[in-house]
Amino acid sequence: MARYTGPRCRLCRREGEKLYLKGYKCYTSKCPMEKRPYPPGMHGQMRRAKMSDYGIQLREKQKVKRIYGVLERQFRRYFEEANRRPGITGVNLLQILESRLDNLVYRMGFAASRAEARQMVRHRHILVNGRIVDIPSYQVPVGARVQVAEKAKQHLRVRMAVEQAAARGAPEWLDVDYDKLEGVYRALPSREQLDPNIREQLIVELYSK
């Protein structure tokens, strides 16, 4: 299965909530979720039948995959790894997803969206502990320093993303220097620090059948 390349706003409408896949547009009145808050397609405004428990679990899994930009096979591997680790499987899964390099670049505010962060990593614009890493799924260890390469620091999109991020502030588990365009992955995020709209227990129940 290839990576989805269609309109990203359709994915938000399909899940019925903003997934913040388009960066700046998601924070403006131009966001399609503001204008058309119903599923895409010719039958999108029709009343839908009540979903089964399986359907609810499946939609939650699809939503989390789309938020982090992960395909099914890789997502399943992340779940298996989370299940092997000590602790709560659902929280472990979210921590693994949050430790991806593309996600950390986005969380630190060096890119406006995870898709943009993935492109920055692929184009060798990101360093981890002083070395270029061009693998978006790279699992960044706690304590690592993530930096924007010198050649990319003056890119307009990077400066715009940093300006927006500085206004919002960085997550508690990251230390970010917006002047130097670098940050430290200080600690694994706790469940209370992550998106409360994600119901990871539904994903655990789905994969445990």
> Does 3 fall in a domain?
no
Residue with the larger pLDDT of the pair 113 and 48: 113
Burial track 66-84 (b if 16+ CB lie within 10 A, e otherwise): bbbbbeeeebeebbeebee
> Does 2 fall in a domain?
no
Q: Which domain holds residue 59?
A: 8-97+196-207
Residue with the larger pLDDT of the pair 122 and 8: 122
Q: Are residues 179 and 121 in the same domain?
A: yes
- Give the pLDDT confidence of 40-89 residue by residue, as tens digits: 655 455 556 677 888 889 989 988 998 898 999 999 999 999 999 999 99
Q: How many domains does the chain have?
A: 2
Rounded CA separation 181/73 (Å): 33
> Does 140 fall in a domain?
yes
- Give the pLDDT confidence of 3-34 residue by residue, as tens digits: 665 665 556 566 555 565 555 555 556 555 55
Q: How confident is the model at residue 180 (pLDDT cuts 50, 70, 90)?
A: very high
User: Residue 1 has what pLDDT?
Assistant: 42
> Does 132 fall in a domain?
yes
CATH of the domain at 162: 3.10.290.10
CATH of the domain at 32: 1.10.1050.10
Q: Are residues 76 and 120 in the same domain?
A: no
Rounded CA separation 116/114 (Å): 5
